[in-house]
Amino acid sequence: MEIAMVCTRVSLLILILSLCSPYKFIQSPMDFGPLNLLPTTTTASSDFGRILFQSPSAVLKPQSSRDISLLLGFLSGSSLSKVTVAARGAGHSIHGQAQALDGIVVEMCSLPSEIEFYKGGEGEISYADVSGGVMWIELLEQSLKLGLAPRSWTDYLYLTVGGTLSNAGISGQTFKHGPQISNVLQLEVVTGRGEIVACSPSKDADLFNAVLGGLGQFGIITRARILLQEAPQKVKWVRAFYDDFGTFTKDQELLVSMPDLVDYVEGFIVLNEQSLHSSSVAFPANVDFSPDFGTKSSPKIYYCIEFAVHDYQHKNTNVEQVVEVISRQMSHMVSQLYSVEVSYFDFLNRVRMEEMSLRSLGMWEVHHPWLNMFVPKAGISSFRDLLMDNISPDNFDGLILIYPLLRDKWDTNTSVVLPNSGSMDRVMYVVGILRSANPDDGCSHHCLQELLRRHRHIADTAGARIGAKQYLAHHPTPSGWHQHFGRRWERFAERKTRFDPLLILGPGQGIFPRSNNAAYGS
Ligand code: FAD
């Protein structure tokens, strides 16, 4: 054991010298004692965005939390080292957030995929203990076997638990149960100092709160305890169309005010024929909606609310009646309400079907200049206008999601950044501009740069005028990050000093660029 430790330390020293040397000599798999450190792969230097490609010098495929602890402990004990480390979940970031230029990428999916359940009795909670590299789809598949499921989701399930908890994890259930970071009971984290810490709201709470929404800056989540609820067998899935933005948002706010009846609320802008069809791949109802989209110079756009009601078939509720009670209060276009019943699994996994359809058309592995923003309720109409001034409905390829969230379902002790609550509005919106840019369809370098420039303009203008904040944020400069955090910057920076003083973790976010020998705050 002792000998193995000494070997590991000597090997790590060789590794660091090699990474810091101008002559990188990691070209073939190397034996770093018990650590599975390998030369870099193309996967480690790319992500879903396909915008940035930063190559690390090595990849760690950890077999346990201890492997990660050994690496970080060694790096943090060696102030000469300039090596940075990024955890990589499923790599579904847009702007290189899980990349580490000339550093080490820790591939979280290599951790043994452990999922253990605790099923509580009547009146007790149920939860799952899962490793940080497990994907939500795996957790869903396993938990359904026990009739259980997490309460809060993302739209797409091929993302890792550690990756979404480092951001927030939102979807149509967030209004009711809060984001995924509000549904975690406990974490195991390897800090930037290499310490393995089990933390929760009552033990090492500051690390627990720092890591949730912490953008991978304070530690690597190796295990999480996720709250579960009884899973419904089926879901009644409803879509209703609107031709007026004010009526659309009013009805969305009505729906989120009825959490006893409604289990999921989202919505999207119907910009053109393509957006109507592509968003309907997974929705198996026969939708008879063929609106007039106007002309190029005078476009007409529509909106769709999507809501869902869980069907626990053994319980004494009639979902048809529930949908009837809800929809009677809504003001959608006449006859433009469609509903269908699907299995709970198919409902949650709906984006996979869209993925498969896009893959078959060669449109999945393209550039994704996505922009997501949290918008205060008071500014949502201005945001819509700003958005429409900066996109052309006739050539927009992708989806624009808009749906309301409720502030009091978010814990402000975590690291997540929300718009300032200047007014007393409980509601805020998330807007996701989920755009594809296909080089084979004429959108190569210049076109992509122009889309990114427009998105930056939207983000900057909405930030300055209406106090909107980016979700899954990307800021090209540290000062952009200071502005992003606003009055929360000091707490975020202080947490960095405490948990990752040598600025080893999360270089791809660009929040704490590393200068020679500098420990943050020194
Ligand atoms: P990665 O991209 O690998 O990593 C993201 C960040 O987290 C990086 O900074 C990385 O270093 C850090 N990180 C990764 N693992 C860990 C860990 N174990 N410990 C500490 N830090 C870690 N998001 C939503 O909230 N709601 C949605 O509905 C939603 N839908 C999406 C649909 C698609 C098709 C895609 C591509 C993305 C979607 N996202 C959504 C965004 C997604 O949640 C984020 O991109 C998330 O980061 C992806 O998780 P990942 O496992 O791919 O993380």
Residue 241 and residue 354 in one domain: yes
Asked whether residue 88 is domain-assigned, the answer is no
Could you give the percent of the chain with pLDDT greater than 70?
91
Query: Would you say 360 and 268 are in contact if contact means Cβ atoms under 8 Å apart?
Result: no
Ligand 1 near 160 CB (within 6 A):
yes
pLDDT of 266 strictly over 70: yes
Residue nearest to atom 10 of ligand 1 (CA): 98
pLDDT in tens, 124-162: 999 999 999 999 999 999 999 999 999 999 999 999 999
Q: What is the mean pLDDT of residues 396-422?
A: 94
Residue 39: the pLDDT is 83
Top mutation candidate among 41, 95, 158, 167 for ligand 1, by most atoms within 8 Å of CB? 167
- CB 233 within 8 Å of CB 298: no
What is the span of the domain harbouring residue 281?
A: 235-363
49 in any annotated domain: no
The CB of 92 under 6 Å from ligand 1? The reply is yes
Last residue of a domain, one of 441, 458, 474: 474
Q: What is the mean pLDDT of residues 379-386?
A: 98
Report pLDDT for 522: 35
Q: Is 44 within a domain?
A: no
Residue 421 is predicted with a pLDDT of: 75
Nearest-angstrom CA–CA distance, 45 and 52: 8
* Confidence class for position 82, pLDDT limits 50, 70, 90: confident
Is 253 in the same domain as 359? yes
DSSP state of 231: P
Cα pseudo-dihedral 131, 133, 138, 140, rounded to 10: 70
Pure H helices in 145-202:
161-165, 174-177
Chain-centroid distance of CA 393 in Å reads 26
The pLDDT of residue 237 is above 80: yes
| pLDDT score for 128 | 98
The answer to whether residues 188 and 257 belong to one domain is no
Q: Mean pLDDT over residues 386-399, rounded?
A: 93
Distance CA 514, CA 522 (A): 12
Helix (H) or strand (E) holding 358: helix 350-360
Q: Is the pLDDT of residue 163 over 50?
A: yes
- Are both 336 and 377 inside the same structural domain? no
222 CA closest ligand 1 atom index: 18
Whether 7 is in a domain gets the answer: no
Whether residue 414 is contained in a domain is answered as: yes
Residues 221 and 242 in one domain: no
Distance 165 CA to ligand 1 centre (A): 8
Of 193, 210, 230, the residue at which a domain comes to its end is 230
Residue 33 has pLDDT above 80, yes or no: no
358 and 301 inside one domain: yes
Identify the three-state secondary structure at position 29. coil
Last residue of a domain, one of 210, 230, 250: 230
**Does residue 127 sit in the same domain as residue 220?**
yes
In a shared domain, residues 239 and 161:
no
Task: Compute, in angstroms, the gap from residue 257 CA to the centroid of ligand 1.
Answer: 29
Task: Judge if 239 and 356 occupy the same domain.
Answer: yes
Instruction: Band the pLDDT of 8: cuts 50, 70, 90.
Output: low
Helix (H, G, I), strand (E, B) or coil at 403: strand
Q: What is the mean pLDDT of residues 111-131?
A: 96
Within a domain: residue 190? yes
Residue 163 belongs to a domain with what CATH number? 3.30.465.10
The whole-number average pLDDT for the span 99-109 is 97
Tell me: do 245 and 358 sit in the same domain.
Answer: yes
| Cβ atoms 81, 102 nearer than 8 A | no
Region 294-302: what's the mean pLDDT?
92
**Measured on CA atoms in the order 88, 92, 98, 104, is the torsion positive or negative?**
positive
Given a cut of 70, whether residue 520 has pLDDT beyond it is no
Average pLDDT, the chain: 92
How many angstroms separate the Cα of 252 from the Cα of each of 222, 303, 331, 427, 444? 37, 11, 10, 10, 37
Q: Which atom of ligand 1 is nearest to the CA of 135?
A: 51
Assigned token pair, 390: 């900066």
Residue 1 has pLDDT above 50, yes or no: no
Give the CATH number of the domain where residue 246 resides.
Answer: 3.40.462.10
**273 plus 223 within the same structural domain:** no
Question: Residue 24: is its pLDDT beyond 60?
Answer: no
295 and 210 share one domain? no
Least confident stretch, 73-77, 191-195, 457-461: 73-77
pLDDT of the residue at 26: 45
- Residue 354 annotated as catalytic: no
Give which of 13, 14, 225, 271 is closest to 117, Cα–Cα. Answer: 225
Would residue 376 count as lying in a domain?
A: yes
If one counts the domains in the chain, the total is 3
Is it the case that residue 280 has pLDDT exceeding 80? no
Indicate if the pLDDT at residue 183 is higher than 90. Answer: yes
The order of strands in the sheet holding 234-242 is 337-343, 234-242, 302-311, 264-270, 398-406, 427-435, 371-376, 469-471
Q: Which helix (H) or strand (E) holds 247?
A: helix 245-256
Tell whether pTM > 0.85: yes
pLDDT in tens, 243-252: 999 999 999 9
Q: Ligand 1: does its nearest atom lie under 6 Å from the Cβ of 86?
A: yes
Exposure pattern of 162-176 as b/e (b: 16+ CB <10 Å)? Answer: bbbbbbbbbbbbbbb
Domain assignment present for 128: yes
- Is 266 among the residues known to form the active site? yes
